[in-house]
Amino acid sequence: MKIYPSFRLQLRDHAPAVIVYYAVLVSMVIISLIIMPFVTNPDDSGYVATNGVTAVTMIFSCIVSLCAFKDVFFLSLQYGVSRRTQFLARLMTMGTICAVLAVADELYTLLLQGLDHIFPNVFSGGSLYWMIYSSDGTSPKGPFFDIVFSFFALLAVCSFGYLLTVLNYRLNKLGKLLFWAGTPITVGLIVSYVSEHPAIAGRVVPFLMSLLGAGFSSLPRMLVTCTVLTAVFSGLTWLLMRRAAVK
């Protein structure tokens, strides 16, 4: 098995993007610190708020996953790595990257909270978990819960992004056109149809809300939902990847 070198290769593929992403976030804080004396005064209520950075990180991780397939797939085949090994290494890479991003997001949030203590009323940083689940005091709070929440949320998003990129690779030109143009058009048509028919909307919207509630109403439910989503997305990815050929 070439799983360890394959894991290292995929990890290495992600590293520069992750470094640049956090460099940008930290640079924004530094720039805020530098320009702070010029934009704040005792009478002004202006402040720097970066609440729920994990929401941005989720978008970032999805984009990174969208770019993670083709180069690594080709290079791995050149070096005689089977698709199965590549897939297992991808799961390991995804877990590692999501763990790193979750911890880094927490450190960033703690940095902002630290600055909030030094410069009261100027900096504000709350985690996404805190904003969704524990800002009202109903759920426990703390860095551990922030990290666990971020890790599972990022895992689901990353696996979805990777599924999309593998699907895109497998589709032919017509398939790509139908999928990428057809999906938004179909969704748009369904939404218009439902909104034009209050009777249907009255059944569909509550159903969707109750589905969301069942899946995400508490941290344990959210963890289960994200794990299931990750498993489903990864399973579909494997089905697409196992017969992927060089083209």
Partner 1 sequence: MSIEITNISKSFGQVQALKGVSAGFKEERIYGLLGRNGAGKSTLLNILTGRIFPDSGTVTVDGEPGVENDRAQGKIFLMSETTLFPDAMRVHRAFHWAGSFYPAFDEGYARGLAEDFGLNLKSKITGLSTGYRSIFKLILALSVNVPYVLLDEPVLGLDANHRELFYKRLLEKYAERPFTVVLSTHLIEEVANLIEDVIIIKEGEVLRQESREKLLSGGYTVSGGAAAVETYIQGRKVLGVDSLGGLRTAYVLGSPERDIQSARDLEFGPMDLQKLFIQLTNS
Residues lying near partner 1 in the complex (CB under 8 A) are found at 1-2, 5, 8-9, 71, 74-75, 77-85, 243, 245-246
Question: Alpha-carbon distance 90 to 69, whole Å?
Answer: 9
Residue 69 Cβ vs partner 1, minimum distance, rounded to whole Å: 12
Nearer to partner 1, 77 or 204 (CB): 77
C-alpha separations of 126 from 24, 39, 88, 120, 222 in Å: 19, 22, 34, 14, 19
Return all residues near 6 (Cβ < 8 A) that are at least 6 apart: 76, 81, 85, 86, 88, 89
Residue 88 Cβ vs partner 1, minimum distance, rounded to whole Å: 11
Nearer to partner 1, 8 or 221 (CB): 8
Contact yes or no for 6/89 (Cβ under 8 A): yes
Residue 239 Cβ vs partner 1, minimum distance, rounded to whole Å: 14
Nearer to partner 1, 12 or 203 (CB): 12
Nearer to partner 1, 34 or 245 (CB): 245
CA dihedral over 178, 209, 54, 5, signed as positive or negative = negative
Residue 175 Cβ vs partner 1, minimum distance, rounded to whole Å: 15
